[in-house]
């Protein structure tokens, strides 16, 4: 291995590496799961692992195998003359002026290559990995079947990173990959906490996407599983979007949380390819479906209330399945307007960039080794640090002024109706 410099400071490190670039190797955690990555440094009690897709993520050193812990100790030097509290920084971001709406987004073949990690028939646990996801299944699935499933997950990640919203998809800080749990029956799914009326759910407390086989289009044929040819991936894309945007959720009002997921679900998708440039066709197909199948006429009653609605009020508005669907549709109406019918989407791009500033500040705060997490989602920190605003009554609404842009509510309501009229869709909006 060539050593061009005695020390190399790798992106996001708070500790300089002795020697230089460490080549990629296979890591194991304490339970035997494997991951290919480069060692990019240390951060507090975590190692920084550079994944094949270029992202650098922290992973608790104590959760690595003893052999890997010894390897890290042998590769890293003391942090002499280095700011040991320097936080992990985000990768360089594309300037706002250079962000455009993509036409076609296709997942790479390499990201959906499947690796079987472990197979435990007795405990009904079969673990598979793609590039950015780890799947725990209750039944053994052929590599080709897992590849089909992983393709939708990886394609949704590729889409979110391609949209001009500026989303950086990072798994939870203690995991090298996003995780998904696949349940053989709906009964298994609900026993694991899946909501009774849902086809799949992102569990924010466990940071895991949960879904039963039927919702993945899997049906049993003899001793194996096959894929339903009529399977639709819409709900899956919706929930994966929540998972990939997990860090952003505390800083978004509920209508943007659901509206962005409805937006990605709306885009025409097939076999790993999103036709993002056909968003108008996808939107109009949804509007037609609402009228024919769900008895919903495009409308937003009380624009100000909808945009400034907190979580408690939102939940109160979603007491029945029909009420919830209506709220999702209104959220989609608003997100689509701000993305494509209002200032060419520039206000929404600027808004999401401001939200990213909150996410980045949160990342830096919690990566500081002086911040101590304690049970119950609480944390301790020295008085000289400024914690992020995670108050659900204030954090989601901090940057809404970018979208509203000082427009009185009656004026904004009229602009929404006029904008939809210009593309042949009738929407009724009251201030």
Q: Which residues pair with 220 in a beta bridge?
A: 225
Confidence class for position 265, pLDDT limits 50, 70, 90: very high
Cβ contact 136:181 at 8 Å:
yes
Which of 138-142, 387-391, 417-421 is the most confident on average?
Answer: 417-421
Residue 92 lies in a domain: no
pLDDT at position 43: 63
Is the residue at 267 inside a domain?
no
Q: Give the CATH number of the domain where residue 39 resides.
A: 2.30.30.700
Reported as a pLDDT band with limits 50, 70 and 90, residue 33 is: confident
Using CA atoms, how far apart are residues 127 and 109, in angstroms rounded to an integer?
20
pLDDT band at 45 (very low <50, low <70, confident <90, very high): low
12: Cβ contacts below 8 Å, ≥ 6 apart? 40, 41, 43, 48, 56, 88, 89
80 falls within a domain: no
Q: Quickly tell me which residue has 């080794």 as its tokens.
A: 369
> What pLDDT does residue 234 have?
78
- Owning domain of residue 196: 101-244
Residue where one domain finishes, among candidates 188, 220, 244:
244
Model pLDDT, residue 91: 63
Nearest Cα neighbor of 276 from 148, 166, 155 is: 155
Does 30 fall in a domain? yes
* pLDDT for 346: 95
Contact 242/202 with Cβ under 8 angstroms?
yes
Asked whether the predicted pLDDT for residue 377 surpasses 90, the reply is no
In this prediction, residues 275-285 reach a mean pLDDT of 97
Q: CA 407 → CA 16, 403, 415, 429, distances in Å? A: 50, 9, 10, 15
Whether residue 408 sits in one domain with residue 285 = yes
Reported as a single tens digit per residue, the pLDDT across 56-65 is 777 877 778 7
At 28 the pLDDT is: 82
> Same domain for 209 and 297?
no
Give yes or no: residues 204 and 282 share one domain: no
- Whole-angstrom distance, CA of residue 154 vs CA of residue 114: 12
| Same domain, yes or no: 217 and 284 | no
Same domain, yes or no: 163 and 286: no
Q: Is the pLDDT of residue 157 over 80?
A: yes
The verdict on 122 and 223 lying in the same domain is: yes
Answer whether residue 116 is part of any domain. Answer: yes
Q: Which of 298, 359, 295 is nearest to 334 (CA)?
A: 298
Closest CA to 371 of 390, 395, 387: 387
pLDDT for 75 equals 63
Mean pLDDT of 85-104: 76
Identify whether residues 335 and 413 lie together within a single domain: yes
| pLDDT above 60 (res 21) | no
Q: Are residue 217 and residue 283 in the same domain, yes or no?
A: no
d(CA 197, CA 181): 18
pLDDT of 80 reads 33
pLDDT of residue 185 exceeding 60: yes
413 and 327 in a common domain: yes
Give the tens place of pLDDT for each residue, 99-154: 999 999 999 999 999 999 999 999 999 999 999 999 999 999 988 889 999 999 99
Query: Number of structural domains, the chain?
Result: 3
**223 has a pLDDT exceeding 80:** no
Q: How confident is the model at residue 403 (pLDDT cuts 50, 70, 90)?
A: very high
Are both 189 and 284 inside the same structural domain?
no
pLDDT in tens, 302-316: 999 999 999 999 999
pLDDT per residue as tens digits for the range 316-360:
999 998 999 999 999 999 999 999 999 999 999 999 999 999 999
Provide the pLDDT for residue 73.
Answer: 65
Query: Do 114 and 217 fall into the same domain?
Result: yes
The whole-chain average pLDDT of the chain stands at 86
> How buried is 302 (Cβ within 10 angstroms: 0-12 exposed, 13-18 middle, 19+ buried)?
middle
Same domain flag for 193 and 320:
no
C-alpha gyration radius of the chain: 23
Q: Is residue 28 part of a domain?
A: yes
- The total of other beta-carbon atoms located within 10 Å of residue 357's CB is 12
Q: How many residues does the chain have?
A: 431
Query: Is 383 inside any structural domain?
Result: no
Nearest to 167 by CA among 176, 178, 158: 158
53 pLDDT higher than 90: no
pLDDT for position 12? 31
Chain centroid, CA 125 distance in Å: 24
Query: Is residue 86 in a domain?
Result: no
Q: Measured between alpha carbons, how far is 123 from 239 in angstroms, rounded to an integer?
A: 27
Quick one: pLDDT at residue 3? 29
């Amino acid at each position: 291995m060539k050593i061009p410099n005695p020390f190399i400071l790798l992106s996001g490190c708070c500790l300089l590496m002795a020697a230089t670039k460490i080549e990629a190797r296979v890591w194991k955690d304490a339970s035997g799961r494997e991951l290919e990555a480069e060692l990019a440094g240390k951060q507090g009690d975590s190692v920084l692992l550079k994944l094949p897709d270029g992202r650098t993520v922290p992973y608790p050193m104590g959760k690595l195998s003893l052999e890997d812990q010894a390897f890290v100790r042998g590769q890293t030097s003391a942090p002499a003359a280095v700011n040991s509290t320097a936080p992990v920084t985000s990768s360089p971001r594309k300037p706002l002026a250079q962000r455009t709406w993509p036409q076609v987004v296709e997942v790479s073949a390499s990201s959906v290559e499947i690796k079987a990690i472990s197979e435990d028939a007795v405990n009904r646990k079969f673990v598979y990995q793609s590039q950015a996801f780890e799947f725990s299944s209750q039944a053994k699935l052929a590599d080709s079947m897992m590849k089909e499933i992983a393709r939708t997950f990886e394609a949704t990640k590729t889409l979110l990173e391609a949209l001009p919203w500026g989303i950086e998809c990072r798994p939870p800080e203690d995991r090298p990959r996003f995780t998904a749990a696949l349940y053989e029956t709906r009964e298994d799914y609900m026993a694991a906490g899946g909501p009774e009326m849902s086809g799949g759910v992102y569990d924010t407390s466990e940071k895991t996407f949960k879904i039963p086989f039927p919702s993945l289009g899997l049906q049993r044929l003899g001793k194996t599983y096959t894929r339903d040819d009529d399977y639709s991936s819409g709900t899956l894309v919706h929930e994966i979007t929540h998972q990939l945007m997990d860090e952003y959720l505390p800083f978004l009002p509920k209508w943007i949380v659901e509206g962005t997921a409805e937006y990605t679900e709306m885009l025409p998708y097939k076999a790993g390819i999103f036709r993002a440039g056909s968003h108008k066709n996808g939107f109009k197909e949804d509007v037609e479906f609402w009228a024919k199948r769900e008895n919903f006429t495009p409308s937003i009653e009380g624009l100000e209330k909808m945009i400034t609605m907190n979580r408690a009020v939102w939940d109160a508005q979603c007491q029945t399945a029909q009420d919830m669907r209506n709220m999702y549709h209104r959220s989609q109406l608003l997100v689509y307007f701000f993305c494509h019918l209002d200032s060419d989407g520039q206000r929404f791009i600027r808004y999401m960039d401001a939200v990213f500033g909150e996410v980045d500040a949160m990342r830096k705060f919690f990566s500081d080794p002086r911040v101590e997490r304690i049970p119950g989602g609480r944390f301790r920190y020295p008085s000289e640090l400024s914690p992020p605003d995670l108050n659900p009554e204030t954090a989601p609404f901090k940057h809404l002024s970018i979208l509203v842009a000082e427009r009185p509510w009656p004026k904004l309501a009229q602009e929404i109706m006029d904008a939809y009229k210009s593309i042949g869709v009738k929407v009724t909006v009251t201030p």
